[in-house]
Chain A
Protein backbone atom coordinates (compact mmCIF):
# COMPACT_ATOMS: atom_id res chain seq x y z
CA UNK A 1 0.00 0.00 0.00
CA UNK A 2 1.53 3.31 -1.04
CA UNK A 3 1.49 6.29 1.29
CA UNK A 4 -1.11 8.96 0.53
CA UNK A 5 -0.30 12.59 -0.18
CA UNK A 6 -1.01 15.41 2.20
CA UNK A 7 -0.02 18.30 -0.05
CA UNK A 8 -3.24 20.09 0.73
CA UNK A 9 -2.28 20.55 4.37
CA UNK A 10 0.51 22.89 3.37
CA UNK A 11 -1.74 24.77 0.96
CA UNK A 12 -4.52 27.28 1.37
CA UNK A 13 -6.95 24.38 1.40
CA UNK A 14 -6.00 23.82 5.02
CA UNK A 15 -6.90 27.28 6.28
CA UNK A 16 -7.97 27.20 9.93
CA UNK A 17 -6.61 23.71 10.49
CA UNK A 18 -4.00 23.42 13.24
CA UNK A 19 -3.16 20.92 15.93
CA UNK A 20 -4.63 18.18 13.78
CA UNK A 21 -3.40 14.60 13.61
CA UNK A 22 -4.62 13.22 10.29
CA UNK A 23 -4.07 9.52 9.69
CA UNK A 24 -3.02 8.57 6.15
CA UNK A 25 -3.17 4.92 6.95
CA UNK A 26 -5.60 3.32 4.55
CA UNK A 27 -8.31 3.72 7.12
CA UNK A 28 -6.81 1.35 9.68
CA UNK A 29 -7.42 3.92 12.41
CA UNK A 30 -11.15 3.56 11.77
CA UNK A 31 -11.05 0.45 9.60
CA UNK A 32 -11.35 0.69 5.82
CA UNK A 33 -9.24 0.50 2.62
CA UNK A 34 -8.13 1.43 -0.89
CA UNK A 35 -7.98 4.10 -3.68
CA UNK A 36 -5.81 6.46 -5.91
CA UNK A 37 -5.85 8.68 -9.02
CA UNK A 38 -4.11 11.55 -10.85
CA UNK A 39 -3.76 15.08 -9.49
CA UNK A 40 -3.88 18.39 -11.34
CA UNK A 41 -4.16 22.09 -10.66
CA UNK A 42 -7.92 21.70 -10.79
CA UNK A 43 -8.00 19.08 -8.10
CA UNK A 44 -11.52 18.00 -9.04
CA UNK A 45 -10.90 18.09 -12.79
CA UNK A 46 -13.35 15.77 -14.50
CA UNK A 47 -15.00 14.63 -11.30
CA UNK A 48 -18.76 14.43 -10.88
CA UNK A 49 -19.94 15.50 -7.46
CA UNK A 50 -23.35 15.44 -5.79
CA UNK A 51 -23.78 18.12 -3.14
CA UNK A 52 -26.67 17.39 -0.80
CA UNK A 53 -27.82 20.36 1.22
CA UNK A 54 -27.51 23.37 -1.08
CA UNK A 55 -29.94 25.88 0.38
CA UNK A 56 -29.11 29.55 0.70
CA UNK A 57 -25.94 31.11 -0.67
CA UNK A 58 -24.76 31.18 2.94
CA UNK A 59 -24.96 27.39 3.17
CA UNK A 60 -21.87 25.22 3.32
CA UNK A 61 -23.27 23.17 0.44
CA UNK A 62 -23.43 26.22 -1.82
CA UNK A 63 -19.84 27.19 -1.04
CA UNK A 64 -18.64 23.64 -1.61
CA UNK A 65 -20.38 23.57 -4.99
CA UNK A 66 -18.87 26.93 -5.95
CA UNK A 67 -15.32 25.97 -5.02
CA UNK A 68 -15.72 22.50 -6.53
CA UNK A 69 -16.69 24.09 -9.84
CA UNK A 70 -13.71 26.46 -9.66
CA UNK A 71 -11.47 23.41 -9.14
CA UNK A 72 -12.76 21.59 -12.19
CA UNK A 73 -15.63 19.58 -10.75
CA UNK A 74 -19.10 19.28 -12.17
CA UNK A 75 -22.23 17.69 -10.85
CA UNK A 76 -25.62 18.03 -9.25
CA UNK A 77 -27.17 19.91 -6.40
CA UNK A 78 -29.49 17.99 -4.15
CA UNK A 79 -32.15 19.79 -2.22
CA UNK A 80 -33.28 17.84 0.78
CA UNK A 81 -36.98 18.37 1.10
CA UNK A 82 -36.99 17.35 4.75
CA UNK A 83 -35.88 20.25 6.89
CA UNK A 84 -34.55 22.76 4.45
CA UNK A 85 -37.36 25.23 4.20
CA UNK A 86 -36.08 28.70 5.07
CA UNK A 87 -37.58 28.58 8.55
CA UNK A 88 -36.00 25.27 9.44
CA UNK A 89 -32.34 24.55 10.14
CA UNK A 90 -30.97 22.06 7.71
CA UNK A 91 -27.54 22.45 6.23
CA UNK A 92 -24.71 22.69 8.66
CA UNK A 93 -25.57 23.07 12.19
CA UNK A 94 -23.75 25.48 14.34
Chain B
Protein backbone atom coordinates (compact mmCIF):
# COMPACT_ATOMS: atom_id res chain seq x y z
CA UNK B 1 0.00 0.00 0.00
CA UNK B 2 2.80 2.41 0.87
CA UNK B 3 4.17 2.89 -2.62
CA UNK B 4 0.83 3.74 -4.20
CA UNK B 5 -0.12 5.84 -1.18
CA UNK B 6 2.98 7.95 -1.81
CA UNK B 7 2.40 8.18 -5.55
CA UNK B 8 -1.20 9.37 -5.34
CA UNK B 9 -0.08 12.29 -3.18
CA UNK B 10 1.03 13.80 -6.48
CA UNK B 11 -2.64 14.07 -7.44
CA UNK B 12 -4.63 17.14 -6.45
CA UNK B 13 -6.86 16.56 -4.62
CA UNK B 14 -5.43 13.33 -3.26
CA UNK B 15 -8.09 10.68 -3.93
CA UNK B 16 -9.10 7.98 -1.47
CA UNK B 17 -7.06 4.81 -1.93
CA UNK B 18 -8.59 1.35 -1.54
CA UNK B 19 -6.81 -1.97 -1.62
CA UNK B 20 -8.29 -5.04 -3.24
CA UNK B 21 -6.95 -8.44 -4.29
CA UNK B 22 -8.92 -9.27 -7.43
CA UNK B 23 -8.30 -12.98 -6.85
CA UNK B 24 -9.97 -12.78 -3.43
CA UNK B 25 -13.76 -13.16 -3.52
CA UNK B 26 -14.18 -11.63 -0.06
CA UNK B 27 -12.30 -8.52 -1.15
CA UNK B 28 -14.49 -8.17 -4.22
CA UNK B 29 -17.65 -8.73 -2.20
CA UNK B 30 -16.69 -5.93 0.18
CA UNK B 31 -15.64 -3.45 -2.49
CA UNK B 32 -18.99 -1.74 -3.03
CA UNK B 33 -19.31 -1.06 0.71
CA UNK B 34 -15.76 0.32 0.82
CA UNK B 35 -16.47 2.55 -2.17
CA UNK B 36 -19.75 3.64 -0.63
CA UNK B 37 -17.81 5.33 2.16
CA UNK B 38 -16.38 7.76 -0.43
CA UNK B 39 -18.89 8.08 -3.28
CA UNK B 40 -22.62 7.53 -3.64
CA UNK B 41 -22.30 6.32 -7.21
CA UNK B 42 -19.72 5.69 -9.95
CA UNK B 43 -19.87 7.11 -13.48
CA UNK B 44 -16.75 5.31 -14.59
CA UNK B 45 -14.42 2.41 -13.85
CA UNK B 46 -10.92 2.08 -15.28
CA UNK B 47 -9.35 -1.40 -15.36
CA UNK B 48 -5.59 -1.04 -15.81
CA UNK B 49 -4.09 -4.19 -14.41
CA UNK B 50 -2.63 -7.45 -15.58
CA UNK B 51 -0.19 -10.03 -14.39
CA UNK B 52 1.71 -12.97 -15.82
CA UNK B 53 4.72 -14.65 -14.26
CA UNK B 54 7.66 -13.18 -16.20
CA UNK B 55 9.77 -16.24 -15.39
CA UNK B 56 7.41 -18.79 -16.94
CA UNK B 57 4.70 -17.13 -19.01
CA UNK B 58 6.52 -14.34 -20.86
CA UNK B 59 9.71 -13.84 -22.81
CA UNK B 60 9.62 -16.87 -25.09
CA UNK B 61 8.58 -19.55 -22.58
CA UNK B 62 5.19 -20.08 -24.21
CA UNK B 63 5.51 -23.79 -25.01
CA UNK B 64 6.43 -24.83 -21.47
CA UNK B 65 4.22 -22.64 -19.28
CA UNK B 66 2.31 -24.61 -16.62
CA UNK B 67 -1.45 -24.18 -16.28
CA UNK B 68 -1.15 -22.69 -12.82
CA UNK B 69 0.69 -19.68 -14.25
CA UNK B 70 -1.63 -19.49 -17.26
CA UNK B 71 -4.63 -19.59 -14.92
CA UNK B 72 -3.25 -16.77 -12.81
CA UNK B 73 -2.60 -14.65 -15.91
CA UNK B 74 -6.15 -15.20 -17.13
CA UNK B 75 -7.75 -14.55 -13.75
CA UNK B 76 -5.86 -11.36 -12.95
CA UNK B 77 -5.70 -9.95 -16.47
CA UNK B 78 -9.00 -10.94 -18.09
CA UNK B 79 -11.56 -12.36 -15.66
CA UNK B 80 -10.96 -9.43 -13.34
CA UNK B 81 -12.58 -7.07 -15.87
CA UNK B 82 -15.82 -8.95 -15.27
CA UNK B 83 -15.38 -9.58 -11.55
CA UNK B 84 -14.37 -5.98 -10.83
CA UNK B 85 -17.21 -4.59 -12.95
CA UNK B 86 -19.70 -6.76 -11.10
CA UNK B 87 -18.18 -5.85 -7.72
CA UNK B 88 -18.72 -2.18 -8.58
CA UNK B 89 -22.09 -2.66 -10.26
CA UNK B 90 -24.22 -1.69 -7.24
CA UNK B 91 -22.71 1.79 -7.55
CA UNK B 92 -22.49 2.12 -11.33
CA UNK B 93 -24.85 4.78 -12.67
CA UNK B 94 -26.93 4.72 -15.83
CA UNK B 95 -25.15 5.78 -17.97
CA UNK B 96 -21.70 4.60 -16.89
CA UNK B 97 -18.48 3.68 -18.65
CA UNK B 98 -16.00 0.87 -18.02
CA UNK B 99 -12.66 1.21 -19.79
CA UNK B 100 -9.83 -1.34 -19.87
CA UNK B 101 -6.36 -1.43 -21.35
CA UNK B 102 -5.10 -4.00 -23.82
CA UNK B 103 -2.22 -4.66 -26.16
CA UNK B 104 -3.91 -5.70 -29.40
CA UNK B 105 -4.28 -9.47 -29.08
CA UNK B 106 -5.91 -10.10 -32.43
CA UNK B 107 -2.40 -11.12 -33.59
CA UNK B 108 0.61 -12.73 -31.91
CA UNK B 109 3.65 -10.75 -30.79
CA UNK B 110 7.24 -11.69 -29.91
CA UNK B 111 7.77 -12.59 -26.19
CA UNK B 112 4.26 -11.49 -25.14
CA UNK B 113 3.20 -15.14 -24.95
CA UNK B 114 0.51 -15.98 -22.37
CA UNK B 115 -0.15 -12.32 -21.66
CA UNK B 116 -1.21 -12.13 -25.30
CA UNK B 117 -3.62 -15.01 -24.70
CA UNK B 118 -4.88 -13.28 -21.55
CA UNK B 119 -5.39 -10.07 -23.53
CA UNK B 120 -7.36 -11.96 -26.17
CA UNK B 121 -9.56 -13.21 -23.33
CA UNK B 122 -9.84 -9.66 -21.99
CA UNK B 123 -10.96 -8.40 -25.39
CA UNK B 124 -13.63 -11.08 -25.61
CA UNK B 125 -14.67 -10.41 -22.01
CA UNK B 126 -15.15 -6.76 -22.98
CA UNK B 127 -17.53 -7.73 -25.76
CA UNK B 128 -19.58 -10.01 -23.53
CA UNK B 129 -19.75 -7.44 -20.76
CA UNK B 130 -20.92 -4.92 -23.35
CA UNK B 131 -23.67 -7.35 -24.32
CA UNK B 132 -24.84 -8.04 -20.80
CA UNK B 133 -24.42 -4.58 -19.26
CA UNK B 134 -25.56 -2.50 -22.25
CA UNK B 135 -29.25 -2.76 -21.35
CA UNK B 136 -28.38 -1.09 -18.03
CA UNK B 137 -26.64 1.80 -19.74
CA UNK B 138 -23.12 0.60 -18.97
CA UNK B 139 -20.65 0.88 -21.84
CA UNK B 140 -17.55 -1.34 -21.85
CA UNK B 141 -14.61 -0.53 -24.10
CA UNK B 142 -10.87 -1.04 -24.36
CA UNK B 143 -7.95 1.12 -25.40
CA UNK B 144 -5.29 -0.82 -27.28
CA UNK B 145 -2.12 1.14 -26.60
CA UNK B 146 1.22 0.81 -28.29
CA UNK B 147 4.21 -0.22 -26.14
CA UNK B 148 4.66 2.02 -23.09
CA UNK B 149 7.57 2.18 -20.68
CA UNK B 150 5.65 0.97 -17.65
CA UNK B 151 6.76 -1.27 -14.84
CA UNK B 152 4.96 -4.10 -16.59
CA UNK B 153 6.84 -3.72 -19.84
CA UNK B 154 10.18 -3.57 -18.11
CA UNK B 155 9.49 -6.99 -16.60
CA UNK B 156 9.13 -8.64 -20.01
CA UNK B 157 12.41 -9.96 -21.33
CA UNK B 158 12.84 -8.86 -24.95
CA UNK B 159 10.00 -6.32 -24.91
CA UNK B 160 12.29 -3.64 -26.30
CA UNK B 161 11.72 -5.25 -29.69
CA UNK B 162 8.27 -3.65 -29.63
CA UNK B 163 9.85 -0.21 -29.69
CA UNK B 164 11.76 -1.14 -32.85
CA UNK B 165 8.60 -2.45 -34.53
CA UNK B 166 6.69 0.73 -33.64
CA UNK B 167 9.61 2.91 -34.69
CA UNK B 168 9.57 1.36 -38.15
CA UNK B 169 5.85 0.99 -38.78
CA UNK B 170 3.71 3.49 -36.86
CA UNK B 171 2.52 6.15 -39.38
CA UNK B 172 2.25 8.81 -36.67
CA UNK B 173 5.41 7.68 -34.93
CA UNK B 174 5.38 6.50 -31.35
CA UNK B 175 6.98 7.65 -28.13
CA UNK B 176 6.89 4.76 -25.61
CA UNK B 177 7.58 7.19 -22.76
CA UNK B 178 4.54 9.34 -23.52
CA UNK B 179 1.56 7.88 -21.67
CA UNK B 180 -0.64 10.95 -22.15
CA UNK B 181 -2.23 9.99 -25.51
CA UNK B 182 -3.33 6.66 -24.06
CA UNK B 183 -4.65 8.25 -20.87
CA UNK B 184 -6.54 10.89 -22.89
CA UNK B 185 -8.28 8.19 -24.91
CA UNK B 186 -9.34 6.47 -21.69
CA UNK B 187 -10.71 9.77 -20.38
CA UNK B 188 -12.54 10.35 -23.66
CA UNK B 189 -14.20 6.95 -23.35
CA UNK B 190 -15.17 7.74 -19.77
CA UNK B 191 -16.81 10.95 -20.95
CA UNK B 192 -20.08 11.55 -22.79
CA UNK B 193 -18.23 11.76 -26.10
CA UNK B 194 -18.80 8.07 -26.89
CA UNK B 195 -22.40 7.56 -25.74
CA UNK B 196 -23.23 4.88 -28.31
CA UNK B 197 -19.96 2.97 -28.43
CA UNK B 198 -19.56 -0.26 -26.51
CA UNK B 199 -17.76 -3.57 -26.94
CA UNK B 200 -15.12 -1.64 -28.87
CA UNK B 201 -11.33 -1.58 -28.89
CA UNK B 202 -9.78 1.76 -29.84
CA UNK B 203 -6.16 1.72 -30.93
CA UNK B 204 -3.85 4.39 -29.57
CA UNK B 205 -0.79 3.03 -31.29
CA UNK B 206 0.34 5.67 -33.76
CA UNK B 207 -1.69 3.83 -36.41
CA UNK B 208 0.46 0.71 -36.46
CA UNK B 209 -2.52 -1.64 -36.42
CA UNK B 210 -3.67 -0.26 -39.75
CA UNK B 211 -0.47 -1.21 -41.56
CA UNK B 212 0.38 -4.57 -43.12
CA UNK B 213 4.13 -4.21 -42.93
Interface set of A (CB-CB < 8 Å, partner B): 1-8, 12-20, 22-27, 29-39, 43-44, 47-69, 71, 73-84, 86-94
Q: Using a CB-CB cutoff of 8 Å, which residues 35-90 of chain B contact chain A?
A: 35, 38-39, 41-52, 54, 76-77, 80, 84, 88
How far is it, in angstroms, between the C-alpha of A70 and the C-alpha of B10 when the chains are bound? 13
With A17-B185, A47-B190, A86-B3: A78-B20 Cβ-Cβ less than 8 Å: yes
Q: Does B162 lie within 8 Å of A80, measured CB to CB?
A: no
Interface set of B (CB-CB < 8 Å, partner A): 1, 3-4, 7-8, 10-13, 15-24, 27, 35, 38-39, 41-52, 54, 76-77, 80, 84, 88, 94-95, 101, 103, 109, 112, 115, 119, 126-127, 130-131, 133-137, 139-140, 145-156, 159, 162, 171-172, 174, 179-188, 190-200, 202-207, 209-211
Q: Does B44 lie within 8 Å of A61, measured CB to CB?
A: no
Given contact pairs A13-B185, A22-B197, A39-B193, a sample of 4 additional A-B residue pairs in the complex whose CB atoms are under 8 Å apart: A6-B193, A16-B146, A55-B7, A60-B101
How far is it, in angstroms, between the C-alpha of A74 and the C-alpha of B205 when the chains are bound? 27
Q: Does A44 lie within 8 Å of B190, measured CB to CB?
A: yes
Closest 3 CB pairs of A and B: A30-B199, A19-B210, A32-B134
With A3-B196, A4-B197, A35-B95: A66-B11 Cβ-Cβ less than 8 Å: yes
Q: Which of the residues B3, B16, B200 comes within 8 Å of A29, measured between beta carbons?
A: B200
Q: Does A48 lie within 8 Å of B207, measured CB to CB?
A: no
How far is it, in angstroms, between the C-alpha of A18 and the C-alpha of B173 when the chains are bound? 11
Q: Does B153 lie within 8 Å of A50, measured CB to CB?
A: no
- Closest residue of chain A to B12 (Cβ to Cβ) is A69
Q: Which of the residues A2, A13, A26, A94 comes within 8 Å of B187, measured between beta carbons?
A: A13
How far is it, in angstroms, between the C-alpha of A21 and the C-alpha of B167 when the chains are bound? 23
Give the chain B neighbours of A68 by CB distance below 8 A.
44, 187, 190
Q: Which of the residues A32, A61, A74 comes within 8 Å of B131, measured between beta carbons?
A: A32
Q: Does A63 lie within 8 Å of B179, measured CB to CB?
A: yes
